[in-house]
Amino acid sequence: MMLSGPEILKQTKPSLWGKTKYLFTRNPIHLRPNIIIEPFDPKFCGSNSYDIHLGPALRFYHKDVELPPKDENATYEVVMTPEDGYLLWPGEFCLGTTVEYTETYNLVPQLSGRSSTARMGLAIHVTAGFGDDGFCGNWTLEIVNLSNNLVRLLPGMRLGQLYYLPIKGKSKEYAGRYKGQREATACRLYKDNQNGA
Protein backbone atom coordinates (compact mmCIF):
# COMPACT_ATOMS: atom_id res chain seq x y z
CA MET A 1 0.00 0.00 0.00
CA MET A 2 1.41 3.41 -0.93
CA LEU A 3 0.36 6.95 -0.13
CA SER A 4 -1.84 8.74 -2.65
CA GLY A 5 -0.92 12.19 -3.94
CA PRO A 6 -3.44 13.93 -1.66
CA GLU A 7 -2.08 11.94 1.30
CA ILE A 8 1.50 12.98 0.43
CA LEU A 9 0.34 16.62 0.48
CA LYS A 10 -1.38 16.04 3.83
CA GLN A 11 1.76 14.43 5.32
CA THR A 12 3.85 17.52 4.45
CA LYS A 13 2.01 19.42 7.21
CA PRO A 14 2.05 18.80 10.98
CA SER A 15 -0.80 16.55 12.11
CA LEU A 16 -3.58 17.77 14.38
CA TRP A 17 -2.44 15.20 16.96
CA GLY A 18 1.11 16.56 16.74
CA LYS A 19 -0.09 20.14 17.22
CA THR A 20 -2.09 19.04 20.28
CA LYS A 21 0.95 17.28 21.78
CA TYR A 22 3.04 20.39 21.15
CA LEU A 23 0.59 22.52 23.14
CA PHE A 24 1.15 20.28 26.17
CA THR A 25 4.88 19.57 25.79
CA ARG A 26 6.28 22.55 23.81
CA ASN A 27 8.53 19.97 22.14
CA PRO A 28 9.03 21.17 18.52
CA ILE A 29 9.46 17.58 17.28
CA HIS A 30 5.67 17.23 17.47
CA LEU A 31 5.29 19.96 14.83
CA ARG A 32 7.52 18.07 12.40
CA PRO A 33 5.55 16.66 9.46
CA ASN A 34 6.23 13.11 8.25
CA ILE A 35 7.37 14.36 4.82
CA ILE A 36 9.65 17.36 4.30
CA ILE A 37 10.60 18.31 0.72
CA GLU A 38 12.54 21.53 0.04
CA PRO A 39 11.87 23.18 -2.33
CA PHE A 40 8.29 21.91 -2.44
CA ASP A 41 5.75 22.67 -5.17
CA PRO A 42 2.31 20.97 -5.09
CA LYS A 43 2.24 20.88 -8.91
CA PHE A 44 4.91 18.14 -8.83
CA CYS A 45 2.73 15.92 -6.67
CA GLY A 46 1.13 13.27 -8.87
CA SER A 47 -1.53 10.67 -8.21
CA ASN A 48 0.75 8.70 -5.89
CA SER A 49 4.24 10.23 -6.07
CA TYR A 50 6.27 13.45 -6.03
CA ASP A 51 8.53 14.35 -8.98
CA ILE A 52 12.20 15.03 -8.25
CA HIS A 53 14.69 17.07 -10.32
CA LEU A 54 18.34 16.62 -11.25
CA GLY A 55 20.82 18.94 -9.55
CA PRO A 56 23.57 20.67 -11.59
CA ALA A 57 26.58 18.66 -10.35
CA LEU A 58 27.51 15.17 -11.57
CA ARG A 59 30.20 13.00 -10.00
CA PHE A 60 32.34 10.50 -11.91
CA TYR A 61 34.84 7.90 -10.73
CA HIS A 62 38.40 8.43 -11.99
CA LYS A 63 39.18 5.90 -14.74
CA ASP A 64 42.09 4.31 -12.85
CA VAL A 65 40.19 3.80 -9.58
CA GLU A 66 39.43 0.26 -8.49
CA LEU A 67 36.01 -0.09 -6.91
CA PRO A 68 35.00 -0.06 -4.15
CA PRO A 69 37.09 3.07 -3.56
CA LYS A 70 39.50 3.30 -0.65
CA ASP A 71 38.70 6.91 0.28
CA GLU A 72 36.78 10.06 -0.68
CA ASN A 73 39.27 11.02 -3.46
CA ALA A 74 38.01 8.48 -6.01
CA THR A 75 35.73 10.91 -7.88
CA TYR A 76 35.69 14.24 -9.66
CA GLU A 77 32.82 16.65 -10.23
CA VAL A 78 31.37 18.09 -13.43
CA VAL A 79 28.97 21.03 -13.11
CA MET A 80 26.42 21.25 -15.91
CA THR A 81 25.29 24.52 -17.47
CA PRO A 82 21.60 24.99 -18.30
CA GLU A 83 22.49 25.50 -21.97
CA ASP A 84 24.70 22.45 -22.55
CA GLY A 85 23.98 20.01 -19.76
CA TYR A 86 26.04 16.84 -20.12
CA LEU A 87 25.99 14.22 -22.89
CA LEU A 88 25.98 10.76 -21.32
CA TRP A 89 27.45 8.12 -23.63
CA PRO A 90 25.94 4.63 -24.02
CA GLY A 91 26.99 2.57 -21.01
CA GLU A 92 28.37 5.62 -19.17
CA PHE A 93 27.72 5.88 -15.43
CA CYS A 94 27.72 8.85 -13.08
CA LEU A 95 26.33 9.95 -9.76
CA GLY A 96 23.87 12.81 -9.60
CA THR A 97 21.82 14.39 -6.87
CA THR A 98 18.31 15.66 -6.46
CA VAL A 99 17.55 19.36 -6.30
CA GLU A 100 15.19 18.45 -3.48
CA TYR A 101 16.32 18.00 0.10
CA THR A 102 14.01 15.55 1.85
CA GLU A 103 13.29 14.22 5.31
CA THR A 104 10.95 11.31 5.96
CA TYR A 105 9.58 10.09 9.28
CA ASN A 106 7.24 7.18 10.08
CA LEU A 107 7.20 6.23 6.38
CA VAL A 108 9.50 4.45 3.93
CA PRO A 109 10.42 6.65 0.93
CA GLN A 110 11.24 4.98 -2.37
CA LEU A 111 12.78 6.41 -5.52
CA SER A 112 11.82 5.40 -9.04
CA GLY A 113 12.56 6.72 -12.50
CA ARG A 114 9.88 8.44 -14.56
CA SER A 115 8.50 6.50 -17.49
CA SER A 116 9.65 9.25 -19.89
CA THR A 117 13.29 8.91 -18.84
CA ALA A 118 13.06 5.12 -18.78
CA ARG A 119 11.87 5.18 -22.40
CA MET A 120 15.18 6.82 -23.33
CA GLY A 121 17.07 3.98 -21.64
CA LEU A 122 18.09 6.18 -18.71
CA ALA A 123 18.21 4.49 -15.30
CA ILE A 124 18.43 6.79 -12.28
CA HIS A 125 19.27 4.15 -9.69
CA VAL A 126 21.12 0.90 -10.09
CA THR A 127 19.62 -0.88 -7.08
CA ALA A 128 19.47 1.82 -4.39
CA GLY A 129 15.95 3.16 -4.79
CA PHE A 130 14.96 2.18 -1.28
CA GLY A 131 14.94 4.84 1.43
CA ASP A 132 14.67 4.59 5.19
CA ASP A 133 12.51 6.01 7.91
CA GLY A 134 14.49 8.96 9.30
CA PHE A 135 16.63 9.59 6.19
CA CYS A 136 17.37 13.26 5.61
CA GLY A 137 19.37 14.74 2.77
CA ASN A 138 19.46 15.08 -0.99
CA TRP A 139 19.18 11.75 -2.78
CA THR A 140 22.22 10.45 -4.65
CA LEU A 141 21.21 9.11 -8.06
CA GLU A 142 23.13 6.27 -9.75
CA ILE A 143 22.61 7.31 -13.36
CA VAL A 144 23.46 5.02 -16.26
CA ASN A 145 22.70 5.27 -19.97
CA LEU A 146 21.38 1.84 -21.00
CA SER A 147 20.51 2.95 -24.53
CA ASN A 148 22.60 2.87 -27.71
CA ASN A 149 22.28 6.65 -28.08
CA LEU A 150 23.68 9.74 -26.43
CA VAL A 151 21.40 11.07 -23.69
CA ARG A 152 21.59 14.72 -22.69
CA LEU A 153 21.25 15.36 -18.97
CA LEU A 154 20.10 18.86 -18.05
CA PRO A 155 20.11 20.51 -14.62
CA GLY A 156 16.59 20.76 -13.27
CA MET A 157 15.15 18.04 -15.50
CA ARG A 158 12.39 15.93 -13.92
CA LEU A 159 13.83 12.46 -14.02
CA GLY A 160 12.35 10.56 -11.09
CA GLN A 161 9.68 10.35 -8.46
CA LEU A 162 9.44 9.62 -4.76
CA TYR A 163 6.65 7.53 -3.36
CA TYR A 164 5.93 6.56 0.22
CA LEU A 165 4.95 3.37 1.99
CA PRO A 166 3.52 3.12 5.51
CA ILE A 167 5.44 1.19 8.15
CA LYS A 168 3.90 -1.67 10.12
CA GLY A 169 5.42 -2.22 13.54
CA LYS A 170 7.99 -0.31 15.56
CA SER A 171 10.59 1.45 13.41
CA LYS A 172 14.16 2.56 14.07
CA GLU A 173 15.20 5.79 12.35
CA TYR A 174 18.05 5.63 9.83
CA ALA A 175 21.43 6.71 11.19
CA GLY A 176 23.72 5.41 8.41
CA ARG A 177 26.73 6.87 6.62
CA TYR A 178 24.70 8.78 4.02
CA LYS A 179 22.39 10.63 6.40
CA GLY A 180 22.53 14.39 5.86
CA GLN A 181 24.21 14.19 2.43
CA ARG A 182 23.71 17.35 0.37
CA GLU A 183 25.53 16.36 -2.86
CA ALA A 184 26.17 13.27 -4.96
CA THR A 185 28.00 10.98 -2.56
CA ALA A 186 30.34 8.23 -3.75
CA CYS A 187 30.47 4.72 -2.33
CA ARG A 188 31.56 4.63 1.32
CA LEU A 189 32.04 0.88 1.72
CA TYR A 190 35.58 1.56 2.95
CA LYS A 191 34.00 2.85 6.17
CA ASP A 192 32.82 -0.70 6.91
CA ASN A 193 36.42 -1.71 7.61
CA GLN A 194 37.05 1.44 9.63
CA ASN A 195 34.13 0.52 11.84
CA GLY A 196 35.29 -3.07 12.27
CA ALA A 197 32.49 -4.52 10.13
pLDDT tens digits for range 55-69: 999 999 999 888 888
If you average pLDDT over residues 4-16, what whole number do you get? 92
Quick one: pLDDT band at residue 196, thresholds 50, 70, 90?
A: very low
Percent of the chain with pLDDT over 90: 63
- Which region among 48-57, 120-129, 138-147, 166-175 has the lowest average model confidence (pLDDT)? 166-175
More confidently predicted of 55 and 184? 55
- Whether the pLDDT of residue 9 is over 80: the answer is yes
The pLDDT of residue 193 is 58
| Of 92, 103, 142, 183, catalytic | 142
The pLDDT of residue 194 is 54
- Which region among 119-123, 176-180, 182-186 has the lowest average model confidence (pLDDT)? 176-180
More confidently predicted of 152 and 168? 152
Quick one: pLDDT band at residue 172, thresholds 50, 70, 90?
A: confident
pLDDT tens for residues 79-124?
Answer: 999 999 999 999 999 999 999 999 999 999 999 999 999 999 999 9
If you average pLDDT over residues 163-169, what whole number do you get? 92
The answer to whether 7 is a known catalytic residue is no
- Which region among 139-143, 153-157, 166-170 has the lowest average model confidence (pLDDT)? 166-170
pLDDT tens for residues 17-49?
Answer: 777 877 788 887 878 899 999 999 999 999 999
| 3-class secondary structure per residue, the chain | CCCCHHHHHHHCCCCHHHHHHHHHHCCHHHHCCCEEEECCCHHHECCCCEEEEECCEEEEECCCCCCCCCCHHHEEEEECCCCCCEEECCCCEEEEEEEEEEEECCEEEEEEECHHHHCCCEECCCCCCECCCCCEEEEEEEEEECCCCCEEECCCCEEEEEEEEECCCCCCCCCCCCCCCCCCCCCCCHHHHHCCC
- Whether the pLDDT of residue 70 is over 50: the answer is yes
More confidently predicted of 131 and 147? 147
